[in-house]
Structure 1
Amino acid sequence: MNYRINEIFETLQGEGVFTGVPAIFVRLQGCPVGCPWCDTQHTWNTDADKQVAVAELAKKTAADDRWAELSADDIVAWFERNGYRAKHVVITGGEPAMFDLQPLAEVLEKRGYRLQIETSGTFPLQVSAATWVTLSPKLDMPGGYLVQPENMRRANEIKHPIAMQKHIDALDQLLQQYPVADDVVISLQPISQRPRATELAIATCIERGWRLSVQMHKYLNIE
């Protein structure tokens, strides 16, 4: 099983439950959902002429749409070659649920890594039982994909980007339609750190006992 990789890097997780935790990010290439505010739009397309060798991918110093195919063993070798110390691995994208992640999870978990996937919830999840699923539901996006009810039931964390009240209302409707487990963490994440969105998120989190996700990495200006 090979995976289309846009980049791999070690940093701190900046969002959600694991904010501040040292993490290795494995960013996959490809996503048809089309979120207008997406800050990784360079991962949407998988043009054949953008495929490069692993050695060239390793030289990337800025975000772009080049990608390479790596196996699970190749990914572990990348970790070891770069001396990464983090044991928390975040599979992100793009939309990582477009891939069967179980072979990757098997290889990484045997080596002592904990996996987290960040997904829109619009594709069937193929992950290990131990994988932490962070579902950031994408509703009424240009791609026309729907959040799947089985993904809501599987989610460990619902992390919802908001800019205005209608986004909270849409989440309420989704949660009513597709209930989640009692122990699921629900957090609101202001889109692009907009002040009004942040104020709304804070007020709503206090009122409902939810959490605030503030994209710490953007405030710290780290990857």
Structure 2
Amino acid sequence: MRSLLVISAGLSQPSSSRRLADMLAEATRAKISARGEGAQIDVIEIRDLAYELATAMTDRTAPTPSLAQAKQRVAEADGLIAVTPVFQGSYSGLFKMFFDTLEPHALDGLPTIIAATAGSSRHALILDYALRPLFNQLHASVVPTGVFQAAEDLGTPEGERFTARIERSAIQLADQMVTPRDRVAGIAGDFSGRGGRSTIRLSKENFIPLEKLLEGYGK
């Protein structure tokens, strides 16, 4: 059973960010199930942590039990879907505060989908100019396909392509969480361990010095 963590920074209830997060989660669960594995979806609504986030940012010694529990859920996740609404051309302040409070290396190697919602498609570049740099800094393993949903695109050809992006990102996340059975494993090796959070280690027994490899050349 894989643990799929959804983090939504939507402020309203219901919110477009949460709806997008649920669509991505269900699509990813379907792709994982197709690989013969189960997926348990866990959701963190960041707005519920607003008070403790403000407390943690201003007083590191103050007790923040709900935030501590959320951090533990991050540590135990095999995959992550992070969705934020767009404010002033970037991710929301609460969204950033949550990730600012995580311990160093908390997201190392964690397979991740980044996604955002906004009223206009003018904000679509948030994926590559705000979210991707943030999660690269946190050393998450961000899938190539991010998902952006603009309210103005609903009912348009662009809105129809949106569904295809969800499917593509879900496949990419599932590929990192569970080893695909319909293709040869790549150089990255088997990702079927804990969320692909594996480190490639070179064995000293198999290490061949450069001088040895170059023997016989140049003579």
- TM-score under structure 2 normalisation? 0.36
RCO (CA 8 Å, sep 6+): is it higher in 1 or 2?
A: 2
Query: Which protein has the bigger helix share?
Result: 2
Point out the structure with max Rg over C-alpha.
Answer: 2
- TM-score under structure 1 normalisation? 0.35
